[in-house]
Structure 1
């Protein structure tokens, strides 16, 4: 990693000696670089209008990402660099670029209360508290609407019973489901499969970003693949809309 960072730093210095790029209009709020669209979704919700994402969506496991010279240039010009605890490359390339950006570790958890707490924290950090409060108000309203739509799809009007991968356990709350147990992020063992199956779930909420295939192959439970990361628009609300539709379709 150290050799790679030296090479990237040299490439950044060489790039700085070339033709000056055409200045681009600065967007509202601080200039934020986020490792993935998940952190970018939190930044946008908190009021940041100028957000750059480093890791492309084609890379399913962000810690395996190999940084490029353009990433050093991005962090060098940033006000803030947002990353998760397992994405150690982000603070390393920030230091290698000699950036004065504030490095901010983001708690990636889509649980309703934790999302609001993290958006509030980032809004205070960015100085965009009003934008963050406005987003949270819209989030509460949209969450309630989506939860109502999913509940309307409950089979026979009965609360569904689910087990979930730990990073998508929040979807059980969105669905109003009874959460019987969680698993992961490591692959489930044979004993864990037996334990989860014996709980009698109707559905398995699987994390599509970390899926290892069918979780309970011998159980009479439908597996529902859910998402954590926003699309290219970095709209965190899109995660809840997408999952609400997926769950509603499965319940129906």
Structure 2
């Protein structure tokens, strides 16, 4: 009887231990569950590094582009079949309507739900709105909010940096190409007029020259050379989109440095 009692006690102990181990196992993550695998990043295909920069700002991690960064005027690029194959496997495709190959992208995508048309304009209000729209599409709102906070801080810092370079503490008077006019605000400048995207006509040139701007903010990606040759006006080459790093903040830093260099020359 004593032996039977000992065996029963041992059996109860083993059952208790097994139950405890089973309970502990259930408190951890299931194999292959969210804690062990995570959610795969959405695959984003951008027409150019400009859209890619907006996507990166929105929190996208898996980004590829169709137009190589080395192409000066991406809107005229003719996509290869290998470029368009990226589009078919993407979760989200970003493009701008002015890009000449937009129609090919739409055809290659296969699903209108994947397409998102981006307004490519580096004016802060537009950037904030577009970044939030993309983040909503790929489920990265927290990452976008974090980037936008750093964006606002960086823009404010750059505006202050350029202001310190003003001659005699006065805002510079500028003429700007229409697609880079946002940099005039970055410089705190007084805009006397704009030109483009069509070539400047003799009449327009005479009108702009008569206003005696200190700077011409020219669009590097669409430049036709010196806008006001034979005058004392300094021309600043402004960029709109980054290279292979997709760093939109780097675009503003580069432009601010170029404006400062011209103001101090």
Tell me: CA distance 1:249–1:103, structure 2 relative to 1, closer, same or farther (3 Å). same
Q: State the Cα distance separating 1:182 from its structure 2 match.
A: 0.8
Q: State the Cα distance separating 1:92 from its structure 2 match.
A: 2.0
TM-score calculated relative to the size of structure 1: 0.85
2:96–2:117: 8 Å Cα contact kept in structure 1?
yes
Task: Note the aligned Cα RMSD (angstroms).
Answer: 1.9
Task: Provide the secondary structure at the position in 1 that maps to 2:221.
Answer: coil
Paired with 1:94 and 1:197, the residues of 2 have a C-alpha distance of 43
Q: Does residue 1:235 correspond to 2:247, yes or no?
A: yes
Q: Unmatched 5+ residue regions in structure 2? A: 1-37
Q: Does residue 1:219 correspond to 2:262, yes or no?
A: no
1:27–1:49: 8 Å Cα contact kept in structure 2?
no
Is 67-76 or 206-215 further displaced after alignment?
67-76
Is 240-249 or 82-91 further displaced after alignment?
82-91
Q: Which has the larger radius of gyration?
A: 2
Task: Provide the secondary structure at the position in 1 that maps to 2:228.
Answer: coil
1:32-70 Cα distance to aligned partner (Å, 9 max, x none): 111110000001101111110110123222232121121
Q: Does residue 1:51 correspond to 2:68, yes or no?
A: no
Q: After the TM superposition, which segments of 4 or more aligned residues of structure 1 sit over 4 Å from their partners?
A: none
Task: Provide the secondary structure at the position in 1 that maps to 2:175.
Answer: strand
2:95–2:117: 8 Å Cα contact kept in structure 1?
yes
Q: State the Cα distance separating 1:155 from its structure 2 match.
A: 1.3
**1:29 alignment partner in structure 2:** 41
Q: Does residue 1:188 correspond to 2:194, yes or no?
A: no
Tell me: CA distance 1:61–1:207, structure 2 relative to 1, closer, same or farther (3 Å). same
Q: Does residue 1:246 correspond to 2:258, yes or no?
A: yes
Paired with 1:28 and 1:143, the residues of 2 have a C-alpha distance of 32
Q: Does residue 1:156 correspond to 2:168, yes or no?
A: yes
**1:177 alignment partner in structure 2:** 189
Higher helix share: 2
1:77–1:99: 8 Å Cα contact kept in structure 2?
no
Instruction: Give aligned pairs, total.
Output: 228
**2:17 alignment partner in structure 1:** none
Q: Unmatched 5+ residue regions in structure 1? A: 1-25
TM-score calculated relative to the size of structure 2: 0.81
Q: State the Cα distance separating 1:117 from its structure 2 match.
A: 1.2
Q: Does residue 1:209 correspond to 2:221, yes or no?
A: yes
2:77–2:100: 8 Å Cα contact kept in structure 1?
no
Q: State the Cα distance separating 1:73 from its structure 2 match.
A: 1.8
1:33–1:53: 8 Å Cα contact kept in structure 2?
yes
Task: Provide the secondary structure at the position in 1 that maps to 2:97.
Answer: coil
